[in-house]
Structure 1
Amino acid sequence: MKKIVIVTLILILSIGLVGCHRLSKEESDPSDNAKTQEEHSTEENKSSDDQDISLEPDTKIPDHVFEKTSVRHVQISEKTIKKDIKTYSNIDKKINDTMNTYKMKLYSNQKLSNTEANKLKKLVQLENENDTNFAQYIQNNQMPNNDYVIYTDKISRYISTANRIEQKSLEISLKSDDDTSIFNDIEQVNKDQDIVNDQEKQDIANFLEDKNIKTETFNEDSNHIDID
């Protein structure tokens, strides 16, 4: 359950680490010996989270999202909806892959430059547009059969909810540790996790396999929405 574990850790760490970090500074031994030991330990055991995360200056933002909102009241063929599911989910994966370095930099208490912050904001916007467009598309058109009615909705709700969890986690990580609104955010995330769970993910994966729809998002080797 990689994605949910990561998000859960982010939620816990975002609340606790700032306070713990401040406390450790106040209670640390100021002696030279303690400092020497700490510096030696830091050099020997410095984790990837403590290291500077460099972003490529030419990091590219995906240039499109799922765009079929103008298609309405149409009988969608099975061939078409298979392609649409793959397109939607693979665009989602591409957007998330691009966002990951920005997120990890923030979670590592590093600041984004104005350019980086604007890129991350744009990526969140694209992610939301991708989710909204696909949801409207499947609602406004007739699916090939009832299986696709059920599972396109499941896929849409699962991916969009997973994205909302990550976005909310990012918001939490940027809030101060004494911001009481964090608890409301956590409550919302807990509700969303009722949708993004092992059973639902496996149910969707089984459907996609049965229909021979291969997506990067639900590939078992994918880090995005891989909750095993």
Structure 2
Amino acid sequence: MKKLLILGILFLLIFITGCSNGHNTDINKADNSYKKVEKKSLPTKIFDNKTTNSQLSEQEIKDSIKLYLNSDDDLSKAKEYYQDKLDSEEKLSEVDSKEIKQLNKLTRENDNNFYNYIKNNRLPEGYNKYAFKISKYISTSNKVFENLDKQIDLTMNKLTEDGEIPTEDFDEIKYDSKIVNGKEQDKIEKFLKEKNIKTRAFKNTE
């Protein structure tokens, strides 16, 4: 099952419940099976094809979709370390904050570069609809982590005495469930299977 969908949902739910329920930390400490997520290096390769006004071949668009999705998967995996810190109610350091910003920057570039690529070129028959559907699905699911970064900046000076961030400051961390949902994910996975595009982002395509 593709992790991109559940990462945004779990990150939001875990963080908010973690802020409001202090007993979560005790549960994690008591659970000997709990293993902290290992920190990964920030990805260096993202989708950056600047081709414009061209008729793309089927192989070109296949390779582009695969690179875009795999790059996004690498970025998502790198974010898991920071999500795990929030899950265990660890404070984010200045270094963490800078790295989150860099991850968001790379994510935006990956999303924008792919969108501009499919918008400014002519796609082969059968790819136009789903190339844009994939772009919209991924970029929308990424907004949760990006919005969290913005909210952290706004609320770091509002920490309570016990180091928690007021949960009311996170009311706007959400994405459009009409775009990111299981039904849309199934459609994308079906398309990728039909076109034989295997990607780490959608496990059911392998």
Return the TM-score normalized by structure 1. 0.71
Say if 1:55 and 1:118 are closer, same or farther in 2 by CA, change over 3 A: farther
**3-state SS, counterpart of residue 61 of structure 1:** coil
User: Which residue in 2 is equivalent to 1:155?
Assistant: 134
User: Which residue in 2 is equivalent to 1:72?
Assistant: 52
Deviation at 1:182, TM superposition (A): 2.7
CA distance in 1: counterparts of 2:142 and 2:127, whole angstroms: 22
| 1:106-157 deviations in Å (ceiling 9; x for gaps) | 3322123333332222111101110010001000000011x21101001111
CA distance in 1: counterparts of 2:179 and 2:73, whole angstroms: 19
User: Which residue in 2 is equivalent to 1:183?
Assistant: 171
Deviation at 1:63, TM superposition (A): 1.4
Please give the residue correspondences for 1:65-144 in structure 2 after superposition, counting only pairs within 5 Å.
65-69=46-50, 71-144=51-124
Say if 1:199 and 1:178 are closer, same or farther in 2 by CA, change over 3 A: closer
**3-state SS, counterpart of residue 55 of structure 2:** coil
CA distance in 2: counterparts of 1:150 and 1:219, whole angstroms: 21
Say if 1:148 and 1:14 are closer, same or farther in 2 by CA, change over 3 A: same
Say if 1:208 and 1:15 are closer, same or farther in 2 by CA, change over 3 A: closer
**What is the number of residues matched between the two proteins?**
193
**3-state SS, counterpart of residue 196 of structure 1:** coil
Deviation at 1:61, TM superposition (A): 1.5
CA distance in 2: counterparts of 1:202 and 1:212, whole angstroms: 15
Contact 1:61 1:98 in 2 (8 A): yes
Superposition RMSD in Å? 3.0
Say if 1:173 and 1:220 are closer, same or farther in 2 by CA, change over 3 A: farther
**3-state SS, counterpart of residue 220 of structure 1:** helix
Which of 166, 185, 191 lines up with 1:207 in the alignment? 191
Any unmatched runs of 5+ in structure 2? 156-164
Deviation at 1:198, TM superposition (A): 1.1
User: Which residue in 2 is equivalent to 1:11?
Assistant: 12
Higher Cα Rg, which structure: 1
Deviation at 1:217, TM superposition (A): 0.6
| 1:176-219 deviations in Å (ceiling 9; x for gaps) | 3254x533334xx2xx1210111111111111111111111111
The code of the aligned residue for 2:87 comes to Y
Contact 1:11 1:173 in 2 (8 A): no
Contact 1:155 1:204 in 2 (8 A): yes
Say if 1:73 and 1:204 are closer, same or farther in 2 by CA, change over 3 A: same
Alignment identity in percent? 32
Say if 1:43 and 1:19 are closer, same or farther in 2 by CA, change over 3 A: closer
